Chain A
Amino acid sequence: MGTLIGVEGIEVAYGDIPVVRGVSIEVREGEAVAVIGPNGAGKTTLFKAIAGMLKPRKGRIVYHGLPIDGLRLYDIVKKGIVYVPAERELFPQMTVLENLELGAFTNYKSRGERLKFVLGLFPRLEERRRQLAGTLSGGEQQMLAIGRGLMARPKLLLLDEPSTGLAPLFVKEMYHQLSRLKEEGLTILLAEQQVPHALAFSERAYVLENGEIRLFGKSKDLLGVPEIQRTYLGVT
């Protein structure tokens, strides 16, 4: 199980202000890795840098042994890295089906089979296939965003705060589906504020605070760290 993607000492800034400093993380093939931390820690910035939406001022990002930190978002998708942002960024005036089909833009001809797979994963989307994306509920939109991301047959899926605004039952269902995907060999990098779910789901985790990695290790172990328990798990 080799390293799929390595982030080496990157610094990402908004204008002059560095938001992510000297961050290095590693994700191996088939792993599920979580990045946890408070709001404003830089999780989204980190993900956007990996996805090609932001360019790091320093450091590199290496994927399958090759540097990708200069590439643009749409080229990185073609390489198999798919980013599902917290804002979802769906196409509101298009149907669920159209949104999903566009997700398969990079291999459009074979979308039929992939569509069956994704709709099988999210039966609620199947029910609402002709509904306009803008009219879906929050949870359904999140499912659609993940589904659209999956349509591109990613090797690495970047999920940014997938549980935001979702009812607890929904969150459970979503993580259940993600586990199934993990079994199929999908590598997942996940940013979450809902720490219990994230640590339960992932094998390893990084704690990002103020743009820097504070802690990292096996998720099981992190669950036992008192500081983590106090700050993120609400244990006093």
Chain B
Amino acid sequence: MNKNGYRADYVALLVVAVVLALVPVGVGGGSYYLRIATLMLIYMAYAVAFNIIFGHTRQLFLCFGALAGSSAYLSVILAKKLALSPWETIPLGILFAGLLGGAFSYVSVRRGLGVIFVGIVTLVFSMIFYNLILGLRELTNGETGLITKGLGAGVLEKARWSYYVILAVLMASLVLYHFLMRSRAGTAFRALTDDEFAAELVGIDVTLYKVLAASIGSALVGAVGAVYAYYSGFISPTVYSLVSVDIVVLVTLLLGGMGTLVGPVLGGVFFTVLDEIVRPLGRLNVLVYGVLMIVLFITFRHGLVAMLRKIGKLRIP
């Protein structure tokens, strides 16, 4: 593709960066909304990773919370026990998550697991992770969790700085996504999503590319999970549970649009707005949440990006 073909991508990335950078200004630094916005960025970044793993290689990883949590807990525990700086242990967490995700992918491809089976196996891993954290109480403090303040994460302990650091992580992940998808790997992804068997026949090493996607995506998840741990000042098993992470990410990406560049971003905005609308409803919020989910998925089953493309006749990447 020539340079002009990517112009839409660059424009989109620029717009996203600028708009999101201005959010703290618009929100006025009031800590509540800033926190909501920062969380939104976190979920967007998770969604980019999910986009790579599920959106582009059909691997239904329902263990994002566990991957993020593995990275986070590893990083925090090492920082605590070995008195290391978080900036030294975060890369270890990222590496661990990436390896774990890659391993899941490798085993799944080798054993020829279908989409549902991968989903269930990773779901089970999520549950194992949750119970491991609860069970290894001496190390992880179980249900009570660990405080991450004061471990030396520096910039991540300040609200405004955190926002921009996390925004940088999000932008980096979007840029990574862009370059990944326009590389040979991206072509391979498209081929194997379309027809895995045919891709093999054409000479594409499906195993390699699936594992690659899973490793990169999982490493990204690990990065976000670890950064989040220090930002929020506190981690516990529920922070990285299925409901807190995986379901949110699934909803975010599917609402936004799988396989697109800005899908995760739009989905994240949408989801955060939804969450804020539903929150004050108190007892009824779960019910309304469910109703909204159903209505939205029936209406936007191909995602917001697809709908906007149709309506606006725009090339939204």
Q: Do chains A and B touch in the complex (CB under 8 A)?
A: no
Q: Which residues of B contact A (CB under 8 A)?
A: none
Q: Which residues of A contact B (CB under 8 A)?
A: none
